[in-house]
Structure 1
């Protein structure tokens, strides 16, 4: 899968991940569980992939209750969106740390009101 290239996520999955995938796909009848925005209904196309509803990075678990079957298209779309969002946040954080404030924008230290001069 191209999305795994350069990722260490596969090593973070539980040892019984293949059995969990089979369970979730069977539970969802191999049908994509993505809710379409235009109709409010499930996609329903053939699903051959399993995805975390709440990402582990956001506190989600590998428990089947946090997993759903997705078609390849919706899984790629969701993963790309999440990856793009995470990259933007990281870029913004690096930029904010690397960009020093102009001296005119820094508040000068205020004198201690208890000091006489």
Structure 2
């Protein structure tokens, strides 16, 4: 992935100076703050689903860590707010019909 996200409405909500903010964070956090091994290439909001673009609320992370963190946050959100009707209704036992 090259620097941006696909399929996210959040990208439209980024501030007009996002590229400057992102560059500042990646200059500050040269190495991924999550794994401490790979170079930071993504600018991540520490708290999920927030639009807080202050430097204290952003961190530089590598792509694998960013993908893993975002996936975990999405899964946690789905578990916390399950959509109704996603499971088939339980059928009664054939002998009890």
Q: Indicate the TM-score class for this superposition, using the shorter chain for normalisation.
A: 0.7 to 0.9
How many residues are paired up? 85
The one of the two structures with greater contact order (alpha-carbon pairs below 8 A, sep at least 6) is: 2
Alpha-carbon distance in structure 1 between the residues aligned to 2:49 and 2:17: 16
Cα deviation code 1:22-75 (max 9, x no counterpart)? 0000011x21001xxxxxxx5231111010111244xx6110110000011100
Alpha-carbon distance in structure 2 between the residues aligned to 1:56 and 1:85: 12
> Is the 1:55–1:61 Cα contact (8 Å) retained in structure 2?
no
Moved over 4 A (4+): none
Note the residue ranges of structure 1 that are not aligned, 5 or more in a row: 35-41, 100-117
2:28 aligned residue = 27
Alpha-carbon distance in structure 1 between the residues aligned to 2:10 and 2:61: 18
2:57 aligned residue = 66
More helix by share: 1
2:75 aligned residue = 84
